[in-house]
Structure 1
């Protein structure tokens, strides 16, 4: 694979990095994290003005069509910045779902507002007890003369408290898998807000006979398209996590050079050098897996695509745990305090292992993929 970046891709990465470095410093982020809202609508609008919320929207729909590599680069910078705003949830996952599944009229209705940051959409798909199998849905959409009646529950929907639109997956009474656009303030929705382990905002959603018009449904039987959306979302999450790994590794190396013991920088101790060398090996393996997951987003073989991306998610999950734990240990007790960004990185890495399927679940998918070859 050739992952040298062209001028446009490099400019996209540089723009994102400069913005986050100047507008999203550690102190500002801590204030947002501790606030009631947990994010900044002003920052979100600025991301829209920079065009970063339109990177996965085709040019025909007013986007910049950066493709999987462009998404990877921006997600990597977003991860390095530990962004609390719903970049992955709205600008990548929900936006891609609309691009791949929605009708022309639905795309024209929602994509411009999502690209500008005026609206936020999230995919409400995961359900308690369903695990990584996205076809196991307890949520039901019953057809009637007026449209549909939606009932069921969704678990830990990232950034649901700030969203205007929910894209809700449900099993339709004809047996097909449907995706429905539901206004966040629709009657019959109960939202139970929560914070994830890394401080991001999420919610459990209950739908009790929510009335939907017929045109609220996106596409027909969306099983294959939704699988593609989820796979590419996992690839973007891997890229975001690689950015976190880059940040925590650099912070650890810098600390080892500045922290002195017995009058000598601890980074000069051979035992600690061996640890950091092992961290670097894991880091470079994670980079390769990020590239692999990005490349596989365009694979039309659903089984091969899912196996490769699951393999990448599993290996990056192992790297996240190893590098995160080593970084905290090398910092000592201070590594778990909120005064150092290493603790914030560690929590984000821990959340990665649990989000969109655990490391063990993706290892099992990869194993089944190898057996199928």
Structure 2
């Protein structure tokens, strides 16, 4: 299969790499982290100028018209520079809900604002008891006339403290863990009934705990009584983007480690000359390239129409990349030694991002269990 990029894809990749290479050095990143938002509005505006915020939307809606491969290419650079901006939450996750679940009228209203950098979105799905189960929902939505009133609590809403709109899962019928009876609703984050407590996550990004008290939804996304298939589809597409982000972070960690091994002296010679350490660096490279292949597989599988086959594919991606990310992160820390444990050095920050990346929507162990329960990626003969 031909994995060569088109001229347009190379241009996109180079443009993002050049922007972040100029504007997102490690010291600059620390400055963005200390800003009121915890990320850079200036960088966000430049993302909009490059078309990155309209990437997955159709050109007729004011978007870039990109697909899973273009999303993967941008995500790799996001991971390479461990950026802090809400690109994943707004463009990939939020954009996925708009593309697959919003009415044409709602898309016409919101997509131009998202593409211009004027509208931030966040997905409020996780609850205290739900862990990685997308269907475990206690937040409720009750019909009141022509609108829905939502009550409940959501946790770890990535970039939920700066979002303008929240995409909220809420139960309209059934029990806590029923697959049916889940709706997806668009909520004004500045509604008086929305209380947000923002905080910094371990990898430097922002998230929020959110409480919703008698909040009227602005719109319903998809089927209000059977929204779980929509959630599954968007999450699977987001896993593909997370795969690209992890590969970018692993590549940066590997490059940083090799450079350190070439310059760090011990016993009068570079530590990279010791065969045992060369073997460990080679194992890091193998894990990285395995993950790169799986990220391509994720991009190709994101558009799979069979939800069971798509979920199995993404489960396998999460397993391989989650395990590789942990290995590459651990080895980069070990081969750097004590300096990697300091907050002033970038190596540990890459490991933190890889760790958080693995846990989003389910870690490697979670998906190993899922594949075991569903018969594996390929059914036995």
Query: For the superposition of Structure 1 and Structure 2, which TM-score range results when normalised by the shorter chain?
Result: over 0.9
> Secondary structure of the residue that 1:163 maps to in structure 2?
coil
Q: Does 1:343 align with 2:332?
A: no
> Secondary structure of the residue that 1:203 maps to in structure 2?
strand
State the distance in 2 between where 1:171 and 1:186 align.
20
Would the aligned equivalents of 2:79 and 2:248 in 1 still touch at CA under 8 Å?
yes
Match in the other structure for 1:315 = 320
Match in the other structure for 1:242 = 247
Cα distance per residue 1:29-65 (max 9 Å; x no partner) = 0111233431111111110011011111112211111
Match in the other structure for 1:118 = 118
Match in the other structure for 2:335 = 330
Number of residue pairs matched by the alignment: 371
Match in the other structure for 1:168 = 168
Cα distance per residue 1:48-100 (max 9 Å; x no partner) = 01101111111221111110000000000111011100011101110111011
| Cα shift at 1:371 | 4.9
Match in the other structure for 2:66 = 66
Instruction: Write the mapping of 1:174-213 to structure 2, written as runs, cut at 5 A.
Output: 176-212=181-217
State the distance in 1 between where 2:56 and 2:366 align.
28
State the distance in 2 between where 1:73 and 1:369 align.
31
Q: Does 1:219 align with 2:227?
A: no
Q: Does 1:154 align with 2:154?
A: yes
The runs of 5 or more residues in structure 2 that have no matched partner are 175-179
State the distance in 1 between where 2:98 and 2:320 align.
30
Match in the other structure for 1:32 = 32
Instruction: Write the mapping of 1:88-127 to structure 2, written as runs, cut at 5 A.
Output: 88-127=88-127
State the distance in 2 between where 1:180 and 1:242 align.
32
* Bigger shift: residues 286-295 or 167-176: 167-176
Would the aligned equivalents of 2:97 and 2:221 in 1 still touch at CA under 8 Å?
no
State the distance in 2 between where 1:30 and 1:194 align.
16
State the distance in 1 between where 2:370 and 2:54 align.
31
Match in the other structure for 1:51 = 51
| Cα shift at 1:219 | 2.5
Runs of 4+ in 1 over 6 A off after TM superposition: none
| Cα shift at 1:109 | 0.9
Would the aligned equivalents of 1:142 and 1:173 in 2 still touch at CA under 8 Å?
no
| Cα shift at 1:146 | 4.7
Q: Does 1:300 align with 2:305?
A: yes
| Cα shift at 1:186 | 0.4
Give the aligned CA root-mean-square deviation in angstroms. Answer: 1.4
* Structure-2 change in CA distance of 1:371 and 1:20 (3 Å): closer
Cα distance per residue 1:241-287 (max 9 Å; x no partner) = 11000000000000000111122111000110011011111111111
Q: Name the structure where helix makes up a greater proportion of residues.
A: 1
> Secondary structure of the residue that 2:65 maps to in structure 1?
coil
TM-score by length of 2: 0.94
Cα distance per residue 1:82-134 (max 9 Å; x no partner) = 11000111011101110110001100111101011011011111222213221
> Secondary structure of the residue that 1:155 maps to in structure 2?
strand
TM-score by length of 1: 0.96
Cα distance per residue 1:296-323 (max 9 Å; x no partner) = 1011111111111111111111111111
